[in-house]
Amino acid sequence: MVVLLVVIAVSSVFATNLAELRVRWIPSMYQQVPDHVNVPVYCEQGHYLADHQCVSTCPQGFAPGHWIIASPPASFSGSPCMTNDGRPVSIYDLAGMQVSADGGTTLYWIISDVPLSKMLVADSANRGYWSLQVSQLVLNALPTIGSIPPVRTEIATVGDQVATFKILHIDPSSTTGNHSDPYPLARCCTTITIHVGDEVGVLCEGLSEKVAQIDFPDQKLKFIVQTVSHSGCPICLSGDTVIDTLQGSVNVKDLTVGMSVWTLDQQGERVSAPAIRVSMTPVPLTHVMVHLILDDGRQLYASPRHPTTDGRTLGDLRAGDPLDGSHVMVAQLVPYNQSYTYDLLPAGDTGFYWANGILVASTLK
């Protein structure tokens, strides 16, 4: 009997400690170590974020969080696993999301930073779009900043999607992953290997994301994220392209505002007009180009979303498609080994010009 009472007493204490652990477990998750992975994870349809992993069902005690006001962004098809009082499995799963603790009246944007922070969404244009309901406890755990910092840090591990790069394997001095170029239409993926200093950012969004450190033992990568000046999406021409001008063929890099180029007017006549804009846009290391070869021998390297004169894009073209009085013989994606793409806008009604002898439209307005 005495032994039985002792066992019961010990069991009772053990059960009480377990209960305390359960109660304390959720708040303790907001004390994550500073280098916990904190980049947004993109899960397939029907999957959810749970401790920075994509899962088909949430852990016991958690359920998929509910978006309020409207639907979440198209790039995120799941939602974090949350408790019924609005706490995520990991607070870092909220990185890059808009959240609210009062039904959308007060909105915060969660900044992917080390440490994680929040920024009040004061712009009325953003207010009321979408948000994830979270508890006030979650918001109180985050420091508030006035604006997105120009330079911040992100930590990622295998399986995470950083900009256009999904990490597949981390080695001592490099990392391998799938690069999905945002400019071709629904084209995936190219397996590439990157090193410290390499760029994986999407510069048309004004961000530069570079590998700053490879932590092989812990299987983590450190990225430096920086807002950069840019001229829009790199949907322009190769630096080797020549443009038809009154002075003959001129390399696109040598064009200046005011230089006369050949363009097409609304009557379909070839006329000269001054270039009223020229651009040079930085591109990430992973940028790819479309290599077009027409059956009359003309060739062009340009970004896949560069427009044609009839509303298509160069990335749309396939062998046999018509283009500028000829037909496409080859249309393939190839790596681009230059740092910039180029474009121009001639004065006139159309904005059309000849690049390597092929009539194309401008991306500039």
Q: 306: phi > 0 → left, psi -120 to 50 → alpha, else beta; which?
A: beta
- Per-residue confidence of the chain (365 residues) as pLDDT tens digits? 444 333 333 333 333 332 222 222 333 444 444 567 888 777 777 888 888 888 899 999 999 988 776 555 444 556 899 999 999 998 888 988 888 998 878 889 888 888 889 998 865 444 445 788 899 999 999 999 988 888 889 999 998 888 878 899 999 999 999 876 544 333 456 788 999 999 886 555 567 889 999 999 999 999 998 876 554 566 789 999 999 999 999 999 999 988 999 999 988 999 999 999 888 877 766 677 899 999 999 999 998 888 899 988 898 899 999 999 999 999 988 888 888 889 999 998 899 999 999 999 998 87
The pLDDT, as a whole number, for residue 218 is: 92
pTM of the entire predicted model: 0.55
Per CATH, the number for 242-360 is 2.170.16.10
**Phi/psi of residue 212, each to 5°?**
-105, -30
How far apart CA 84 and CA 77 sit, in angstroms, is: 20
* Residue pointed to by tokens 């270039």: 275
The pLDDT, as a whole number, for residue 1 is: 42
* Residue pointed to by tokens 């591109």: 283
Q: Does the bond joining 204 to the residue before it have cis omega, within 30 degrees of 0?
A: no
In terms of Cβ atoms closer than 10 Å to its own Cβ (0-12, 13-18, 19+), residue 303 is buried
The pLDDT, as a whole number, for residue 17 is: 33
The pLDDT, as a whole number, for residue 23 is: 26
The pLDDT, as a whole number, for residue 206 is: 62
Q: Which two tokens stand for residue 171?
A: 């080695």
Q: What is the largest CA-CA distance in the chain?
A: 107
For the beta carbon of residue 165, count every other beta carbon within 10 angstroms: 30
The pLDDT, as a whole number, for residue 328 is: 95
How far apart CA 170 and CA 173 sit, in angstroms, is: 8
* Residue pointed to by tokens 């591990």: 157
Q: Output the CA angle 238-335-158, nearest 5 degrees.
A: 135
In terms of Cβ atoms closer than 10 Å to its own Cβ (0-12, 13-18, 19+), residue 194 is buried
Beta partners for 154? 223
Structural domain boundaries in the chain:
34-149, 153-227, 242-360
Q: Which two tokens stand for residue 178?
A: 């799938």
In terms of Cβ atoms closer than 10 Å to its own Cβ (0-12, 13-18, 19+), residue 171 is exposed
How far apart CA 170 and CA 222 sit, in angstroms, is: 12
**Phi/psi of residue 140, each to 5°?**
-65, -25
Residue pair 111/118 in contact by the 8 Å Cβ criterion:
yes
Number of residues assigned to the chain: 365
Q: Does the bond joining 115 to the residue before it have cis omega, within 30 degrees of 0?
A: yes
Nearest to 288 by CA among 356, 338, 241, 358: 338
